[in-house]
Structure 1
Amino acid sequence: MALTPVEAVACCLPLNREPLSQEAAERIVPMLKALADPVRLRLLSLVASHEGGEACVCDLNDAFELSQPTISHHLKVLHGAGLLEREKRGVWVYYRSSPSAMSSLAALISDTTT
């Protein structure tokens, strides 16, 4: 079974411990690519900092000059990369940041030598 991007990051901590193998780097790339887009990085920040730690698409639309389907697409990419969790309630989908993904990313880039 293939590792999710979050599991891949968690197994390769931190970057300064030892060089990443080609395989490990390829497993981690989807998560980092998802964050490399300015809209997705802002969306992750908006969701994570939203009151209660979760947000609906309807809460995020006004922060961007983008259509709701475009915002939903970016949220889907973040979810697919393991950065966001989602829950459908009625007609709306609510998103929250994944604590394990955030912890894994922080540990991946942490400097344990200081």
Structure 2
Amino acid sequence: MSLPTTIEARACCVPRVTSSLTVDDAERVARVFKALGDPTRVRLLSLIAAGEGGEACICDLTEPVGLSQGTVSHHMKLLADAGLVTREQRGKWAYFALDRDAMDAAAAALRLS
């Protein structure tokens, strides 16, 4: 039995995917998007981005999100582990800044080429 000419003439099973992320890159990107999957963490990133010099002290992040310092510290650890923020200890306070390269890489992972 033969297929109709219109179907036979089509290129069947031509690879449409020309590149993909490596397994390591996919795991790294997944950690980033998992960290971004929580609204509180997205808000924290927004607060840091809006902070003077693009950074914020942990002490300035608790009130705007309405959470304890311990809970905010936990969220910030997840963001730091995902590579989205850098942490600098200044005396007893931790200051966080966005890692612009990591943010750009996360956005690039979604771009179509």
Which of structure 1's runs of 4+ aligned residues deviate more than 3 A? 16-24
In the superposition, relative to structure 1, how do residues 23 and 89 fare at CA in structure 2: closer, same or farther (>3 Å)?
closer
Name the residue aligned to 2:52.
51
- For residues 98 and 27 of structure 2, the distance between their equivalents in structure 1, rounded to whole angstroms, comes to 23
- For residues 94 and 24 of structure 2, the distance between their equivalents in structure 1, rounded to whole angstroms, comes to 34
Name the residue aligned to 2:63.
62
Pairwise CA distance, 1:65: 1.8
Which deviates the most, 45-54 or 66-75?
45-54
- For residues 18 and 87 of structure 2, the distance between their equivalents in structure 1, rounded to whole angstroms, comes to 33
Structure 2 residue runs of 5 or longer lacking an equivalent are 1-16
> 1:1-114 alignment to 2 at 5 Å?
18-20=19-21, 24-112=25-113
When normalised by structure 2's length, the TM-score is 0.75
**% identical equivalent positions:** 48
Instruction: Say which one has the larger Rg.
Output: 2
Larger relative contact order, structure 1 or 2 (CA cutoff 8 Å, min sep 6): 1
In the superposition, relative to structure 1, how do residues 61 and 27 fare at CA in structure 2: closer, same or farther (>3 Å)?
closer
The alignment partner of 2:83 has SS state of: coil
The alignment partner of 1:28 has SS state of: helix
C-alpha distance after superposition, 1:10-35 (max 9, x if no partner): xxxxxx86344555433321111000
The alignment partner of 2:61 has SS state of: helix
When normalised by structure 1's length, the TM-score is 0.75
| Letter matched to residue 51 of structure 1 | E
In the superposition, relative to structure 1, how do residues 110 and 59 fare at CA in structure 2: closer, same or farther (>3 Å)?
same
In the superposition, relative to structure 1, how do residues 24 and 53 fare at CA in structure 2: closer, same or farther (>3 Å)?
closer
RMSD, aligned α-carbons: 1.9
In the superposition, relative to structure 1, how do residues 52 and 21 fare at CA in structure 2: closer, same or farther (>3 Å)?
closer
Number of aligned residue pairs: 97
